[in-house]
Amino acid sequence: MRVYFDYNATTPLAPEVIEAVATASRDLFGNASSVHHYGQQAKAAIDDARSAIATLINGDPSEIVFTSGGTEADNFAIRGAAEALEATGRRHLVATAIEHEAVLNTFKALARRGWRTTLVPVDQSGIVAPERVREAISRDTALVSVMHANNEIGTIQPIAAIAAIAHEQGALMHTDAVQSVAKIPVDVRELAVDLLSLSAHKFSGPKGVGALWIKRGTRMLPILTGGKHERNRRAGTENVASIVGLGVAARLGANKLTAEAVRLAALRDQLEQGILTRVAGTVVNGDPHARVPNTTNISFDRVEAESLLIALDLEGIAVSTGSACSSGTLEPSHVLRAMGLPTHRTQNSLRFSLGQFSTAAEVERVVDVLPRLVEKLRRLTKSPVAARS
């Protein structure tokens, strides 16, 4: 039995998405900019997907710009807004210390070009207090970027409250909702943001496609220049089949959001309780309440997370040590570090993230296997990390 509990890294495609992408790849080969029948068919399919995404997040279809995924959506939000606002004298950007690398490294790149950047700290449970954001913002802040749900620990941030603070100072508010869309209700009007990023492969859609929602009237410059695609906001011939897949995933996500959230929360809690009771020296990282229903992040005392990850993989169980980008290295998680956890806990934590195909039998399997593996590693491991804990 193989178990995949790494849905926050990426998800398997929904069967309906596979079908729709295959059909679109075969039948909708026209260039959506062409005026003839083939082009118009492709354009209609793209517009249908645009409506599906707009419905999922309560936006207007005209406010959706398709991108190559979450990374591009984050880059577009930050660089596009920064460039548009540069002339107004606003040269300051604010984010939190627990953002995804797509945001953090874009900030670093802009800092090298003279932008002032501030990373707001989070509390021990991985939540940013709106007051901390208020302290960081000033009259020259162009944009505040705070993720909706964190990819490593799943915590949900108080976006609407932070957006209100950003707007008081005339700054734009962006949220990276890559890990919340189709897991919890995401409503751009309720969140009161100006820009929102999403990515299809985190909710049963294809990789390499996503979107940036841009509130109507928001001043943005394109980061990809070329043709007049996406109302002059993102140049490049549209990836029709993937966009169609994104649309199907959005409709599926909207239809089963509530039921799936309840089902996954029950499975996640069963997994968490099973681990906490069967494996001594374990503790959950993050906020137990304000988090997405599919994610838990657990510290295993006197165990090196990478070793446990490999031991689990040998048993056919796939999990993660946090963000996929830092896997394969012993870099401590920047998220757990920002929460102020001691070094050993930033290196002994595993993320379990569930999804569409997760079952109770899989949860049982993981809970059965873990005590033996952890015990073995604790006996064998003589690493400095283990010794310190």
Ligand X SMILES: Cc1ncc(COP(=O)(O)O)c(C=O)c1O
Determine which residue in the list 42, 52, 127, 147 makes contact with ligand X, applying CB under 6 A.
Answer: 147
Tell me if 100 contacts ligand X by CB under 6 A: yes
Determine which residue in the list 11, 155, 199, 294 makes contact with ligand X, applying CB under 6 A.
Answer: 199
The residue written with tokens 């993981």 in the block is 366
Cβ closest to ligand X, residue 51 vs residue 326: 326
Determine which residue in the list 6, 176, 238, 362 makes contact with ligand X, applying CB under 6 A.
Answer: 176
Active-site residue (options: 18, 276, 324, 325): 325
The residue written with tokens 């398997």 in the block is 12
CA angle 220, 165, 79 (to 5 degrees): 25
When CB distances to ligand X are compared, the closest residue is 70
CA pair distance 101, 380, nearest whole angstrom:
34
Known catalytic membership, residue 151: no
Q: Pairing state of beta strands 141-145 and 172-176?
A: parallel
DSSP H or E run through 248? helix 240-278
**Can you spell out the DSSP letters for 198-244?**
EEGGGTTS-TT-EEEEE-TT-----SS-SS-HHHHTS-S---HHHHH
Least distance CB 243 / ligand X (angstroms): 14
Q: Is 361 exposed, middle or buried (0-12, 13-18, 19+ CB in 10 A)?
A: exposed
Binding mask 201-220 for ligand X (x = CB under 6 A): x--------x----------
Cβ 275 vs Cβ 356: under 8 Å: no
Q: How far is CA 130 from CA 96, 159, 337, in A?
A: 11, 8, 20
Least distance CB 79 / ligand X (angstroms): 15
How many residues contact ligand X, by CB under 6 A?
A: 14
Tell me if 80 contacts ligand X by CB under 6 A: no
Least distance CB 195 / ligand X (angstroms): 13
- Of 176-184, 303-311, 314-322, 331-339: span binding ligand X (CB under 6 A): 176-184
Q: How far is CA 315 from CA 1, 159, 309, 353, 373, in A?
A: 9, 39, 10, 17, 10
The C-alpha torsion from 295 through 301 and 304 to 308, rounded to 10°, is -60
Tell me if 178 contacts ligand X by CB under 6 A: yes
Least distance CB 73 / ligand X (angstroms): 8
Least distance CB 154 / ligand X (angstroms): 11
Determine which residue in the list 11, 145, 151, 320 makes contact with ligand X, applying CB under 6 A.
Answer: 151
Chain contacts with ligand X (rule: CB under 6 A): 69-71, 74, 100, 102, 147, 151, 176, 178-179, 199, 201, 210
- Which residues are identified as catalytic? 325
